[in-house]
Amino acid sequence: DIQMTQSPSTLSASVGDRVTITCRASQSISSWLAWYQQKPGKAPTLVISKASSLGAGVPSRFSGGGSGTQFTLTISGLQPDDCATYYCQQYYSPLYTFGQGTRLEI
């Protein structure tokens, strides 16, 4: 199975900051990567698909990049509502795998 590794595990930032979360795949997954946001006690919501395509209704301060094995999720102009755990997930293989998550504290 493809392993997904995120860094950092926890990230502390302030309102207005620009933050970047990194996700690495154990083999090339082209651009078949999604990012999800999960708030405590809630279901995940889609942020980014195909590495850089913004999900429906997602603010433009979110952006995704990368291809192959290295990917990033960047949030520019951090807002209090962005406090959540973020997960990357590959869908190159039909056996999907998630990263371990990055908790963003604001």
Partner 1 sequence: QITLRESGPALVRPTQTLTLTCSFSGFSLTQTGMSVSWVRQSPGRALEWIARITWNDDKYYTTSLKTRLLISKDTSKNQVTLTVPSADPADTGTYFCARTRVGGATRESYYYYMDVWGKGTTVTVSS
Q: What residues make contact with partner 1 under the rule CB under 8 A?
A: 1, 31-32, 34, 36, 38, 42-46, 49-50, 55-56, 87, 89, 91-92, 94-101
What single DSSP character describes residue 80?
A: G
Strand ranges inside the chain, DSSP E: 4-7, 10-12, 19-25, 33-38, 45-49, 53-54, 62-67, 70-75, 84-90, 97-98, 102-105
CB of 90 to partner 1, least distance (A): 10
Residue 37: CB atoms within 10 A of its CB come to 23
Closer to partner 1 by Cβ: residue 38 or 76: 38
Of 24 and 96, the one with the shorter C-beta distance to partner 1 is 96
Retrieve residue 23's tokens. Answer: 């996700």
Nearer to partner 1, 31 or 76 (CB): 31
- Shortest CB 95 distance to partner 1, Å: 6
Minimum CB separation of residue 96 from partner 1 in Å reads 4
Supply 91's token pair: 């869908």
